[in-house]
């Protein structure tokens, strides 16, 4: 999963946004590992490799007790 696959814009399927049953059947036919890999690919496509690998910054604030 090091390389993010390119989006094939030649394949287009138009469906209703209300028809989630077909999509649900598709994803339920995949193994849990394949589903997690698909999530990671989507995350890398949206945020890029550097943002996926980077960590959240820690932020500490001190407060004086009175």
Contact between 38 and 1 (Cβ < 8 Å)? no
- Whose tokens are 């590992």? That residue is 33
Who wins on pLDDT, 55 or 49?
49
* pTM value surpassing 0.75: no
Tell me if residue 57 falls in helix, strand or coil. coil
More confident residue, 55 or 64: 64
Helix ranges (DSSP H) in 1-60:
21-28, 32-47, 49-53
DSSP three-state, residue 58: coil
pLDDT of 35 reads 94
Mean pLDDT for the stretch of residues 49-55: 62
Chain-centroid distance, C-alpha 55: 16
């Amino acid at each position: 999963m090091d390389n993010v696959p390119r989006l094939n814009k030649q394949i287009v399927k138009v469906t209703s946004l209300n028809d989630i049953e077909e999509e649900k059947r598709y994803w339920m036919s995949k193994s849990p590992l394949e589903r997690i890999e698909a999530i990671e690919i989507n995350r890398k496509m949206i945020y890029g490799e550097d943002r996926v690998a980077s960590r959240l910054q820690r932020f500490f604030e001190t407060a004086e007790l009175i």
